[in-house]
Amino acid sequence: MHTINSNILIISNMGPKPSSPFQGKFVHNQVWALAALHPGYHYMRWHSDSLLNKALKYPVFLLDFVWRYILSRRRFDIVHVHFFYPTIWLALLYKALRNPRVKIVVTCHGSDIYKYQPPGKLYRWCAAKVDSWIFASQALAQHFSLPALRAQVLTAGISEVYRQAERVSWQDKTIDVLYVGSLDHNKGMDRLLALLPYLKDKKVVIAGAGPWRDKLQLAARQFPNVLVVGPKDSAALKTLYQQARCFISFSRHEAFGLVMAEAMACYTPVIATHTDGSVEQIQSGVNGLLVSQQGDEAQVNGRLAQALADFFQLSSMHYSQWQTHSRASAEQYLLGEVVNELQSVYQRVMS
């Protein structure tokens, strides 16, 4: 681990809320792993699904930042922004009011780029103030259409709890199909519902929270093989991943997909739709299966059903090989490796 002599402030516009208690957890994990540097950490503490919160959360986020860091005696040399826009405005405020020499590092996670194409004038102006860029995947970096002279690809990292994951053989596993993540339309919950009739003889476990949870729980009453367990912490997820024969990701858009890396770190192959994040991690036929999203939804669902059928025809030898490749591909995303690289980024930006 590198030695950093600079004061670092990490800013994230994400934070837990009742419907998504682990939102932004990967940033919390990074901050925890950087504890030896004693970084400042500002995240969205007031967060819920109420209309009042949706209207006022950013003004409160800004005022909280002014109170905690603009009016603080502590002075920072580096501000690391997670989720570029609009979070970047807090870093620029700090630069204007507290330290004009501060270096700004930005980690882009997905929709902070996807939603701003083509980039407007304010977005471009803010981007010109960034000293170093980090992108969650290679494909996301390619979507970024503005100059980024000092840039690299680096995922947020998965918890170190997965480093000690145990390999469980096919016959000893108790879950056939596992999904972990937000329960919403972008994550393909409609696709999962459509496929449940094809999975009537499989044990399906769904862990997460979101607007589609009620629909999934209703389906679970119709299909007794389906269990909806709600959001879980890393230790509980590790157990689920290890017990699952395969992990599924039916997302329409995914910049990286940390849950895929978590599953593969636990020796569990992934069946995923073709997204920026899945292409970054999955070699079809090696550590999982990639499914095209071309065509209408009926065609996509047909291909997903076929991929699941193909997967459950794997020989025990091939499955074991996929497990080995899954673990090998995920090890680079463990938090310890990511944090070492982050410290190199901080050193470079100050040199």
Are 111 and 148 in a shared domain? yes
Residue-wise pLDDT for 170-195, tens only, equals: 999 999 999 999 999 999 999 999 99
Residue 108 β-bridge partners: 135
User: pTM score, two decimals?
Assistant: 0.87
Q: How many domains is the chain partitioned into structurally?
A: 2
What is the spatial distance between Cα 241 and Cα 155, in angstroms, rounded to a whole number?
20
Q: What are phi and psi of 75, to 5 degrees?
A: -115, 135
Angle CA 323–156–58, to nearest 5: 140
Asked whether residue 50 falls in the same domain as residue 181, the answer is no
Domain that residue 89 falls in = 8-157+334-350
2 in any annotated domain: no
Predicted confidence (pLDDT) at residue 347 exceeds the cutoff of 80 = yes
Contact 263, 270 (CB under 8 A): yes
Residue 244 pairs in a beta bridge with 175
For residue 23, pLDDT over 70 is answered with yes
85 within 8 A of 60, measured Cβ to Cβ: no
Q: Is 245 inside any structural domain?
A: yes
8 φ/ψ angles, rounded to the nearest 5 degrees: -120, 135
CB count in 10 Å sphere of residue 209:
20
Rg over alpha carbons for the chain, rounded to the nearest Å, is 21
Instruction: Please report whether residue 188 resides in a domain.
Output: yes
Residues 183 and 123 in one domain: no
Does some domain include residue 3? no
Q: How many CB atoms lie within 10 A of CB 12?
A: 23
Q: Same structural domain for residues 34 and 132?
A: yes
Distance in angstroms between the alpha carbons of the first and the last residue of the chain: 17
206 touches 182 (CB < 8 A): no
Q: How far apart are CA 249 and CA 274, in angstroms?
A: 9
36, amino acid identity: A
Q: Angle between the 234-243 and 258-265 helix axes, to the nearest 10 degrees?
A: 60
13 and 65, same domain (yes or no): yes
Q: Is residue 235 within 8 Å of residue 293, measured between CB atoms?
A: no
Residues 252 and 197 occupy one common structural domain: yes
Domain membership flag for residue 1: no
Q: Is the pLDDT assigned to residue 3 strictly greater than 60?
A: no
Nearest to 240 by CA among 158, 180, 189, 160: 180
Within this chain, do residues 322 and 235 fall inside the same structural domain, yes or no?
A: yes
* Statement to judge: residues 345 and 268 lie in one domain: no
Q: Read out DSSP for 181-192?
A: S--STTTTHHHH
Domain-embedded: residue 121:
yes
pLDDT at 139 over 90: no
What are all long-range contacts of 54-60, with beta carbons under 8 Å and residues at least 24 apart? 58/13, 58/86
Q: What are the DSSP calls for 272-290, one per residue?
A: EES-HHHHHH--BTTTEEE
pLDDT-based confidence at residue 294 (cuts at 50, 70, 90) = very high
Tell me, rounded to whole angstroms, the distance of Cα 203 from its chain centroid: 25
Do 166 and 292 lie in one domain? The reply is: yes
Given this model, what pLDDT does residue 137 score? 87
Tokens of 16: 């837990």
Instruction: Write the CA distances from 175 to 154, 157, 215, integer angstroms.
Output: 31, 25, 21
Residues 110 and 210 grouped into a single domain: no
Residue 60 forms part of a structural domain: yes
| 72, 113: one domain | yes
Distance CA 160, CA 32 (A): 11
CB of 333 closer than 8 Å to CB of 157? yes
CATH code (residue 281): 3.40.50.2000
Residue 98 domain-assigned (yes or no) = yes
Mean pLDDT of 65-86: 96
Percent of the chain with pLDDT over 90: 84
87-125 tens-digit pLDDT: 999 999 999 999 999 999 999 988 899 999 899 999 999
16 and 119 assigned to the same domain: yes
